[in-house]
Structure 1
């Protein structure tokens, strides 16, 4: 009997020490793709030997963590054709294996379209838009709804179910906040990933993401995915058990705090002392900073974006906290993505109001020795200027000064202007600010150069202060309610007024290509009045000229503009497209009679 017990103990002990595979990142890959680096998570991988069932595939390098919990497998190539292989693991204490699939690549014709100034982007914070599938809300849903930072139940099916609403408004491109798994009681926003290869259960499934992408593409709309290569969440397994000590900048106990002043990065004379906390500090002192200088981390993050793009047929990426990652990573990241998806576009968050700083991160030009490859940054400078002009009574010349610096960008026409997003107080934060002021801001936003971005809820004049008050639930998206802003009949008069205003402006933009891709010429700016013209020459419409005028003053304005040697030279007629103001043309002057707090748009012939 004793011998049997000893044998049983030895057998259990050997089994406990046998190698185990728990997870492989990425979960699958594609034939003909660049050679992947597979990150295997498991147990007892120390001294493991790895082989592949396909003799044509080779492992160039294996890196195993000191505790045997992780192994990096750097493959020499991907197979030429789709197949499922066996990954075999052998140690002195046992063996195991796992199947791994290389799928056929997605047809490029049904996705990867990219976005441009012809589009209109709509930002959706998934958890706060619409609850399309109550079964994924969790057992404490009622309690969570009452928490300003709780999980409120918005999900991917909820977005898919309201695409009619978006299309009726005039939206062509949907940007969703991150779908990553976020195992934290307050990470409803998606920016604290605990698994970068899983859709959070609150949001739905990978199939739900694919359904959303397919539904958008069927309507000739586009999907932009929010990716976060800068950091992970505080509950990510790597915080306590990293694949390698170099995968993070610092540790939970010893790290620096991310510095939000980007100016030293743009200064050729600034010492490293003044720069390193931008790219190596932990964001908000809580989000662990990834070390993209480590080749394995860089490969992991690049593969992660490729995986999501290929899985869902994404059209673009919104890149979070862009300046907090060093430029060499961005150069290689974009080189890889653009080689695989030539039409795919990226927009980066550079939260700064200075065009000399924001433009530093734009791709298409070499600065600090490297081109980031970024298609465009968000236009934060015009965001700050528009808010100052309309909410703080700054002069219209402040916006003109921002536009004057467009020559700093290789492609200013790609910029993404906006008047609010999920990280800023609502435009209508101040109760004294009326939707009429919002209309004036919308007029400039939808007619200026670049691609306008609308934050979900601004189109119905939603109010709210700083985070989390700026992330209130979209009315009508969370169960029966009298105020369902998704439907015309249920909107309040204020909601309907704002919705109809933006809908009209976007329809004008859609029907007049000059407002999408035309040149922009500033004709007049003073304390209260801004006048500019968008022009476009095409074979069918050789001289499109759309004039935009805004008067934010409480008094009427009669403004006379000399049009000699301007884009309006030779114009003889001004047809009113929007607003009730009047325009009079003579041989060399334009006289605009603008009512108080009025926007006007004219088609000049």
Structure 2
């Protein structure tokens, strides 16, 4: 089924709680609902209620069998294993819990009708371009949710690390802008509840895996965003955090078990030595120091070796894919989670959704370490992974260095050439997510000295080379942060998304000439790319850099027009000898320049503007 035309017709999945008069608090159940017709017929419920660990549980709902129930260790938790038969119909099942003294309580659980074609949903791929958004800093569409009762951190727009009010409504209000620019996927930093006392806007300190933070909106709004985005030809990618939670999560106050969090709930920092996971000369203690350590005291590190933790995290990801009709997942700090769990997690999700895409964040500039996690790559051990995609940090570094460094035998454009020449280590280099920057590093404009020509070369390469491009919000107007690498400034407010409308990037009001030029250039590249089968589905072939120039081609088949990309890093106009590229130009009669649709004859040479990247579509007629 086409990934942008498929619309989920989901039944609203709500958990109804029915309590007897003796109960004093509600039963909490995770996942909050499920679907009929899933490929895996097993479902594990986490039931939380005071002193419930020794209760028995039963249901007479047709097609649902209780296989087992057990306490994970905590007095207030009961884990219930269900088997859902193929004959089960959508509906509401009543579960009755009975205590050792005969006291009882019950809850009603919804099994919804699964959307037609859900299992065959297509994930994001090389035909897409991803727009990465920091939701709190993009657009405030609903000022009423800036302050929400019961949450400690209130809005503080003057503070770089405070909450500024951006939300789901703000993203929905600007879908036309993103569609017209040419973006086809949205990846937001996490939107789940982060009920932390401070610095909660970034979203990576989860306090509820099944609840959108109300300062961003609601679960229903998130699903509506997905629906409205798909109407515009845009998919939604969810940022998933498997490695850690926020220190205000209920699990820190009411422990499901003593081994739910690594190091017995006590802070021990990670070594960040990801190399230890792959070191043939290494020791297990070093690998554990990386994957079992905490990032910071406010991010407790989950123990995915506990089978209940593992199942909870697997089911939470499936729940959101199904509930919000997602086109993919981005997994934060991928290699920091337990290695065997990651194998299990990816297999379960990709078995349920064989055409989905998942990209893992492995922040290493070593292609061999990056490639290790991708499905189909050759590995030194027998590790099994079903992960389709990895963030291509090696390419990011090579791209910036190739543009900034002088042209010598050992640096400059050859650094980009060399990293692409190492693509043989990947299972599928065309499925890597490529980028110039992201929310955790200096913006590409700042990395490239706020220089338009350098920025243009970077954007042109990103949108025409192999892989799935990701663009950080604001890159289209060259947002920058001179003099600082503080994340609060890197993730600055998007102009036009908030009450101050003196500068509005959505309309162009108040933008500088350079910003308008950049926005127009990116829009042109995005939409030309979208229309080019050679770029989105074609093979990548490049020639080694020569005298400050770098040339590569994208093509599918003889019947498809090829695309030629020419990068000139020289600071003066350069004449490029085309005879070197006869293999790809012999059939071409003319070339159409993307910049202005000018049609040029294919001759013996080509004049290149100084510090430029030019794209041509080749025609044989």
TM-score in terms of structure 1 length? 0.91
Q: Cα 1:249–1:53, aligned 2, differ >3 Å: closer, same or farther? A: same
Partner of 1:402: 419
What is the distance in 1 between the residues matched to 2:443 and 2:262?
A: 34
Partner of 1:39: 46
| Structure 1 contact 382–417 (Cα < 8 Å) conserved | yes
Partner of 1:22: 27
Partner of 2:613: 599
> 1:330 is matched with which residue: 331, 342, 352?
342
What is the distance in 2 between the residues matched to 1:107 and 1:55?
A: 22
Alignment of structure 1 residues 275-424 onto 2, 5 Å: 275-365=287-377, 367=379, 368-393=381-406, 394-424=411-441
Q: Cα 1:529–1:70, aligned 2, differ >3 Å: closer, same or farther? A: same
Task: Give runs of ≥4 in structure 1 deviating > 4 Å.
Answer: 15-21, 139-143, 579-586
Q: How far 1:67 sits from its partner (Å)? A: 4.5
> 1:270 is matched with which residue: 277, 282, 285?
282
> 1:115 is matched with which residue: 94, 117, 124?
124
What is the distance in 1 between the residues matched to 2:42 and 2:144?
A: 39
What is the distance in 1 between the residues matched to 2:138 and 2:153?
A: 15
What is the distance in 1 between the residues matched to 2:25 and 2:336?
A: 36
Q: Cα 1:408–1:145, aligned 2, differ >3 Å: closer, same or farther? A: same
What is the distance in 1 between the residues matched to 2:598 and 2:400?
A: 24
Partner of 1:209: 222
C-alpha RMSD of matched pairs (Å)? 2.6
> 1:454 is matched with which residue: 464, 467, 471?
471
> 1:131 is matched with which residue: 130, 140, 154?
140
Deviations 1:107-163 (A, max 9, x none): 226993311111111111111111111110017999611111111111111101100
Partner of 2:88: 80
Task: Single out whichever of 107-116 and 200-209 deviates more from structure 2.
Answer: 107-116
Q: How far 1:431 sits from its partner (Å)? A: 8.9
| Structure 2 contact 314–345 (Cα < 8 Å) conserved | yes
Partner of 2:543: 523
Partner of 1:251, secondary structure, is helix
Q: Cα 1:418–1:67, aligned 2, differ >3 Å: closer, same or farther? A: closer
Q: Which runs of 5+ in 2 are unaligned?
A: 1-19
Task: Single out whichever of 495-504 and 554-563 deviates more from structure 2.
Answer: 554-563
What is the distance in 1 between the residues matched to 2:599 and 2:37?
A: 61
| Structure 1 contact 113–343 (Cα < 8 Å) conserved | yes
Q: How far 1:55 sits from its partner (Å)? A: 6.3
Task: Tell me how many residue pairs correspond in the alignment.
Answer: 584
Partner of 2:239: 226
Partner of 2:97: 89
Alignment of structure 1 residues 448-487 onto 2, 5 Å: 448-464=465-481, 465-466=484-485, 467-487=487-507
Partner of 2:562: 545
| Structure 1 contact 112–316 (Cα < 8 Å) conserved | no
What is the distance in 1 between the residues matched to 2:37 and 2:448?
A: 57
Q: How far 1:238 sits from its partner (Å)? A: 1.4
What is the distance in 2 between the residues matched to 1:485 and 1:142?
A: 27
What is the distance in 2 between the residues matched to 1:603 and 1:65?
A: 61
Whose Rg is larger?
A: 1
What is the distance in 2 between the residues matched to 1:258 and 1:581?
A: 55
TM-score in terms of structure 2 length? 0.88
What is the distance in 2 between the residues matched to 1:569 and 1:511?
A: 24
Alignment of structure 1 residues 137-216 onto 2, 5 Å: 137-138=146-147, 144-184=156-196, 185-216=198-229
**1:438 and 2:446 equivalent?**
no
What is the distance in 2 between the residues matched to 1:218 and 1:486?
A: 20
**1:508 and 2:523 equivalent?**
no
| Structure 2 contact 592–598 (Cα < 8 Å) conserved | no
Q: Which runs of 5+ in 1 are unaligned?
A: 1-14
Deviations 1:57-108 (A, max 9, x none): 3322222254411111111336611121122112134221111111111222
